[in-house]
A = this chain, B = another copy of it.
Amino acid sequence: MAEMDTLSSSMEDYLEAIYHIVARKQAARAKDIAERMNVNNSSVTGALRSLSEKGFINYAPYDLITLTKKGKEHARYVVRKHDTLKEFFMKVLGAQEEEAEATACKMEHAISPDILERLIRFVEFVEVCPRIGDEWMKTFEKFCREGMASENCEQCLSQCLETYKEQEEKE
């Protein structure tokens, strides 16, 4: 028998699409999926059969499509990978939304559980650690434009410390 618990990149894309459609409407129709994925109707039918056989979706010919528990769980995992990558590309690397979205979409299938967890922690950390934060992002952007101007490091650090102290006082 074919693997029951693993999905190809392609099938993960279908599952993800179904997840998002089901989140908006009650259930998904083949046509919605085809439109969202820019794919032919008949390709959807094949994908549905495959996802159904593996127990990820509830589906019978001509019927509406919903996710099984297993399908929901896997879909959420895929979405988590997608969103984490997109967030990292935008918030840390400063990429544009469209670029981040497209690249996350392609890379999401290949990221391992271990690296994913680390990346989630990292993005979380970047947001709460004062050593990073907004100012730091600006510094990174400047670095990207002009390279490292090492003379400013002390000033940069002092500034960072001052800002932090000021914010602490306000709270």
Contact = CB atoms under 8 A, between A and B. Distances in A.
Contacts of A139: 129, 131
Given A106-B110, A115-B89, A160-B131, A121 B143 contact: yes
A91 to B, nearest CB: 12
B114 A107 contact: no
Contacts of A122: 92-93, 140
A114 B128 contact: no
Interface string A133-171: 000100110011000101001101110110011001000
Contacts of A121: 140, 143-144
Interface string A77-112: 000000000000100111100011011001101111
Given A136-B131, A157-B160, A161-B161, A99 B125 contact: no
A146 B165 CA distance: 23
Interface of A: 89, 92-95, 99-100, 102-103, 106-107, 109-112, 114-115, 118-119, 121-122, 125, 128-132, 136, 139-140, 143-144, 148, 150, 153-154, 156-158, 160-161, 164-165, 168
